[in-house]
Amino acid sequence: MTREAGPDEQALLAETKRFAAAPFDARPVLTATESDLDIRLFRTTYLPAFVAVESLEENQRPVEADLAWLRLTTPGGMPTALGVLALGKDPSAHVPGAYVQFIRYQGTDLDAPVVDQHELRGNLVGTATRLSALLAGHLRTRLAEGTELFREEQLPDYPLEALREMCMNAIMHREYEVSNAPVRIAWFDDRIEVTNPGGPFGQVRADNFDRVNDYRNPGLARAMKALGYVNRFGRGIWRIRSAMARAGSPVPEFRIDDSSWSVVLRKWP
């Protein structure tokens, strides 16, 4: 004998079916509630990135309405994957692969000693803040001749712009739905490799990835642009290549297959 679903369960099933065909980042996360979202972060950082200050001052809508308007929750108040990724207090508790793994090796291969490692399991804002500081802290500089007489210039071994761009793009484009693997940053003595789960998506293929754009996580891409973590849509690869070229560094390498995407930056000669 089967039990008939109660009103709350029926509403949950109806809402789940409604979003079944939507991109993963727009779908409800059944294990999360609004209490799993950082509402203070939403008010102070996320919402102002989308709405002008003057409009915020005039806005008398409840926070629940704004969360739903920005697709961070469903109309029924259940957090979406975007809400969990962007504002979650512990995103990986609900989306297992939603974290970044950083490993610094003292050597040039995986057998080398590990001198530093971190798992960044915060939401989008927290991860971006920690990651920026972590990357900057591991950079080393070299002296180069300046453009003026008797002046020298300190240059980092990797352009920070290229590092940030490839890490933010990995977070934005990775596969969250079917993979529990994190975005991995492996920092060796001679190179940095950033790998994210998920191969080319939609119109993107291994032979056109630097010319054609598509978005596995369109809501997350929009949020990252509004928050300033990516500059413009479709220019990530160009910005990585351009930053490396300006620094006189080797050309970036892109390794793409059906299940993953890697970018390799090599240290300046």
Query: CA 73, CA 79: separation in Å to the nearest integer?
Result: 4
Chain Cα centroid distance, residue 121: 12
Look up the CATH number of domain 100-266: 3.30.565.60
Query: CA 102, CA 134: separation in Å to the nearest integer?
Result: 9
Comma-separated ranges of CATH 3.30.565.60 domains in the chain? 100-266
Q: What is the pLDDT of residue 236?
A: 82
List of E strands, the chain: 100-105, 114-120, 141-145, 152-156, 183-187, 191-197, 253-256, 260-266
Taking residues 40-56, what's their average pLDDT? 86
Positive or negative CA dihedral for 123, 67, 34, 217? negative
Query: CA 114, CA 155: separation in Å to the nearest integer?
Result: 25
Considering 5-9, 71-75, 259-263, the range whose residues carry the highest mean pLDDT is: 71-75
Q: What is the phi/psi pair of residue 264, to 5°?
A: -120, 125
Residue 37 has pLDDT above 60, yes or no: yes
Give the pTM.
Answer: 0.85
- Region for 248 from its dihedrals, namely left if φ exceeds 0, alpha if ψ lies in -120 to 50, beta otherwise: left
pLDDT digits (tens, 9 = 90+) for 225-253: 999 998 766 678 889 999 999 988 999 99
Q: What is the pLDDT of residue 214?
A: 82
pLDDT digits (tens, 9 = 90+) for 55-80: 666 677 899 999 999 999 999 999 99
More confident of the two residues 74 and 152: 74
Residue 133 has pLDDT above 70, yes or no: yes
Q: What is the pLDDT of residue 208?
A: 75
More confident of the two residues 21 and 86: 86
Residue 52 has pLDDT above 80, yes or no: no
More confident of the two residues 230 and 54: 230
Q: What is the phi/psi pair of residue 24, to 5°?
A: -55, -40
